[in-house]
Amino acid sequence: MADTPGIVITGASGRMGQMLVKAVAASDACRLVAALEREGHGWVGQDVGTAMGVPALGVAVTDDPVAAFAKAQAVIDFTAPAATVAFAGLAAQARAVHVIGTTGLSAVDIEAIDRAAHHAVIVRAGNMSLGVNLLVQLTRKVAAALDADFDIEIVEAHHRHKVDAPSGTALMLGEAAAAGRGVDLGEVRQSGRDGVTGARRRGDIGFSAIRGGDIVGEHDVLFAADGERITLRHVATDRGVFVRGALKAALWGQDRDPGHYDMMDVLGL
Ligand SMILES: NC(=O)C1=CN([C@@H]2O[C@H](COP(=O)(O)OP(=O)(O)OC[C@H]3O[C@@H](n4cnc5c(N)ncnc54)[C@H](O)[C@@H]3O)[C@@H](O)[C@H]2O)C=CC1
Ligand SMILES: O=C(O)C1=N[C@H](C(=O)O)C[C@H](O)C1
């Protein structure tokens, strides 16, 4: 239907991109208006459905973000940091809602996204699933209830293709644990122990990353004290949980005031 929001999917050939293209094309609540890939990608110019090996969807893959965003009310973006920063500026110029799932963003990247959010709605989260966003809240509460006798360790596991560590989700959980404890994560973050590291520093928040096979995404927050342990765990077995969250965010963002939002805002948590 022409009056539903038009959506662009960036990184259309990616693991998330392909699932998002299919979900938008199948939805009654929005329309697929463009599928974007990087310049030189073999899919550019082909129908995105045909390229994915499903029936044609009547949308050719493009490498022109300006033309694609001009047709859209929302851009759903699971690509890579440099692309996402560029898309934030272009989506803001087009006044399209920009849903950002990309992880591995630096502090400088996030500042650039903040600037774009003065002009348009941006919803950004290292994890779009309902379950993880609830786990973030639980982590903050448990960390606030316990003192530093409980060592906090965050363990994440992902597929062999993932390029960033710790995962965006692990960092969300670490930020929540630090906030619950009333400390700055930057002061207590401990990533990548190797060699003679010395004993654990009281109050540190540790991160460990496992990479292998086709693991979709698993996160444990461990609170370990003398004589007892608590583990909070989320296991994603299907990327559909991220797709559902991203579509929800794209629709939620319509007619909102410009700003940099997250999935807590979208889910009302
Ligand atoms: N927030 C969340 O809930 C989730 C976040 N992610 C994040 O999303 C990102 C993508 O993940 P995957 O789909 O597994 O990766 P992928 O590598 O399968 O897909 C990325 C796609 O982006 C495309 N791309 C890169 N630069 C581009 C550009 N300049 N213009 C257009 N397309 C470009 C690539 O060609 C590729 O097709 C990662 O940062 C990942 O951590 C993944 C799943 C859930
Ligand atoms: O790269 C992935 O696959 C995922 N990335 C996100 C992250 O970095 O936390 C979310 C999810 O865990 C899958």
Q: Does the residue 43 lie in any domain?
A: yes
Residues 62 and 146 occupy one common structural domain:
no
Give the residue numbers of the binding site: 11-16, 37-38, 101-103, 125-128, 159, 168-169
Which CATH number goes with the domain that contains 221? 3.30.360.10
Give the pLDDT of residue 68.
Answer: 98
Residues 183 and 258 occupy one common structural domain:
no
Q: What is the ipTM metric for this complex?
A: 0.99
Residue 166, preceding peptide bond in cis (omega within 30° of 0): yes
Amino acid at residue number 140: R
Give the pLDDT of residue 198.
Answer: 96
**Pocket residues: Cβ below 6 A from ligand 1:** 10-11, 13-17, 36-38, 41, 78-80, 83, 101-104, 125-128, 168, 242
Q: Does the residue 229 lie in any domain?
A: yes
What are 137-180's pLDDT values in tens digits?
999 999 999 999 999 999 999 999 999 999 999 999 999 999 99
Number of domains observed in the structure of the chain: 2
Question: Structure tokens of 105?
Answer: 């963003």
Residues 227 and 191 occupy one common structural domain:
yes
Q: Does the residue 210 lie in any domain?
A: yes
Residues 93 and 41 occupy one common structural domain:
yes
Predicted model pTM: 0.98
Residues 139 and 222 occupy one common structural domain:
yes
Residues 160 and 227 occupy one common structural domain:
yes
Give the pLDDT of residue 1.
Answer: 54
What atom of ligand 2 comes closest to residue 219's alpha carbon? 12
Amino acid at residue number 3: D
Give the pLDDT of residue 192.
Answer: 84
Residues 11 and 119 occupy one common structural domain:
yes
The helix/strand/coil state of 42 is coil
151-158 and 217-225 as β-strands: parallel, antiparallel, unpaired?
A: antiparallel
Q: Does the residue 1 lie in any domain?
A: no
Q: Does the residue 40 lie in any domain?
A: yes
Residues 100 and 228 occupy one common structural domain:
no
CB count, 10 Å around CB of 129? 24
CB count, 10 Å around CB of 34? 24
Residues 151 and 45 occupy one common structural domain:
no
Q: Does the residue 56 lie in any domain?
A: yes
Give the pLDDT of residue 154.
Answer: 98
Distances (CA, A) of 214 to 26, 55, 161, 256: 25, 26, 8, 37
Per the CB < 8 A criterion, the answer to whether 68 and 133 are in contact is no
Q: Does the residue 96 lie in any domain?
A: yes
Q: Does the residue 157 lie in any domain?
A: yes
| Residue of 15, 16, 159, 262 to mutate, ligand 1, most atoms within 8 A of C-beta | 16
Residues 245 and 185 occupy one common structural domain:
no
Per the CB < 8 A criterion, the answer to whether 5 and 73 are in contact is yes
Give the residues of the chain that fall short of pLDDT 50. Answer: none
CA of 169 to the centre of ligand 2 (A): 7
Q: Which residues contact 261 (CB under 8 A, 6 or more apart)?
A: 121, 122, 123, 124, 249, 253
The whole domain housing 171 covers 130-236
Residues 14 and 120 occupy one common structural domain:
yes
Question: Structure tokens of 29?
Answer: 């609540």
Which CATH number goes with the domain that contains 37? 3.40.50.720
Residues 119 and 248 occupy one common structural domain:
yes
What are 105-147's pLDDT values in tens digits?
999 999 999 999 999 999 999 999 999 999 999 999 999 999 9
Q: Where are the alpha helices (DSSP H) in 60-121?
A: 65-70, 81-93, 107-116
Per the CB < 8 A criterion, the answer to whether 55 and 49 are in contact is yes
CA of 261 to the centre of ligand 2 (A): 19
